[in-house]
Amino acid sequence: MGEILRIENLCKQFGGIVVADDISLTLDAGEIVGLIGPNGAGKTSLFNLISGVVQPDSGRIFLQGRPLEGPLHRRARAGVVRTWQHMRLFRSMTVIENMLVATREYPGESMLRSMFATASVRRAEAEARARAMDLLARMGLTQTADNIVVDLPFGQQKLIGLARALMNDGRCLLLDEPMAGVEGSNYETMQRIVRDEASAGRAVCVVEHNVSFIKDLCTHAVFMAQGKILQRGSVDELTRSRELTELYFGTVDASVDA
């Protein structure tokens, strides 16, 4: 399957802190790439650079061969969608409202045009609602549609965070610590959905400290520290590396599975 995202020599500093130091990376359709490394390595910053939350000092990003530029909503429209390490749900809204708002945040040109035609607006709304209900059904969360989102257990809120991202039909999916605080059946659901999205031809990159999740899902992984990609390889190769384990935990005695 073909290349979806290509990052070339991306650099970014905040003051004296280098968060991206000559990062080059490609993501192909159907693959799930694990992005691992210690806190402060620059993993979230890389997602911020790709998704347009922050602009790079230098370097280029291409989505399906075209330069990926502009702010978050423009890139989302182009097909880069993401979840957030710290969930950004609208706390007082229901689940379905949170999901419908996700599509309105990135109105496409056709959507703007359709503002002038009430029938098209209604059709777009109905399509968005159907898509939202479909996603909730896939997650086993149909019954939660009208619940206030913060009343749900944390694991379900994380799933809703993913569902919101999937409301926008992006070819490139960036997941920032999707499993943090997620257990049991929600964990399995998250795993299944991520796998299915990759099988559907999306390129997925996932930041995650849960190494068994990375091992189960990822085609390969990339290890980052201090804004640099230090190593690429199979998850086994990376987690067996004494040097990387030391960087990750500050000691080689700690198990990577801890």
Ligand X SMILES: Nc1ncnc2c1ncn2[C@@H]1O[C@H](COP(=O)(O)OP(=O)(O)O)[C@@H](O)[C@H]1O
For residue 41, the partner it binds in ligand X, Mg ion, none, with Cβ less than 5 to 8 A by kind, is ligand X
Q: 163, 176, 179, 241: which is closest to 212 by C-alpha?
A: 179
Q: 63, 99, 94: which is closest to 78 by C-alpha?
A: 63
3-class secondary-structure state, position 95: helix
83 binds Mg ion (CB under 5 A): no
- Shortest Å, Cβ 173 to ligand X: 17
* Pick 43 or 158: Cβ nearer Mg ion: 43
* Residues 159, 183: Cα–Cα separation, whole Å: 11
Do the beta carbons of residue 171 and residue 63 sit within 8 Å?
A: yes
- Shortest Å, Cβ 37 to ligand X: 6
For residue 19, the partner it binds in Mg ion, ligand X, none, with Cβ less than 5 to 8 A by kind, is ligand X
- Shortest Å, Cβ 39 to ligand X: 4
User: In the stretch 15-54, what mask flags binding to ligand X with x, by CB under 6 A?
Assistant: --x-x-----------------x-xxxxxxx---------
14 binds ligand X (CB under 6 A): yes
Give 179's contacts (C-beta < 8 A, 6+ positions apart). 158, 187, 190, 208, 210, 213
* Residues 132, 130: Cα–Cα separation, whole Å: 5
Q: Give me the amino acid identity at 172.
A: C
Q: Which of residues 38-77 bind Mg ion (CB under 5 A)?
A: 43-44
* Pick 131 or 227: Cβ nearer Mg ion: 227
Q: 67, 83, 43: which is closest to 193 by C-alpha?
A: 83
* Pick 47 or 106: Cβ nearer ligand X: 47
Q: Is 69 exposed, middle or buried (0-12, 13-18, 19+ CB in 10 A)?
A: middle
* Pick 187 or 223: Cβ nearer ligand X: 223
210 binds ligand X (CB under 6 A): no
- Shortest Å, Cβ 59 to ligand X: 16
Near Mg ion by CB under 5 A, which window of 85-93, 100-108, 125-133, 181-189?
Answer: 85-93
* Residues 249, 258: Cα–Cα separation, whole Å: 10
* Pick 19 or 206: Cβ nearer ligand X: 19
Q: Site residues (CB under 5 A) for Mg ion?
A: 43-44, 85
Residues that bind ligand X in the complex, under the rule CB under 6 A: 14, 17, 19, 37, 39-45
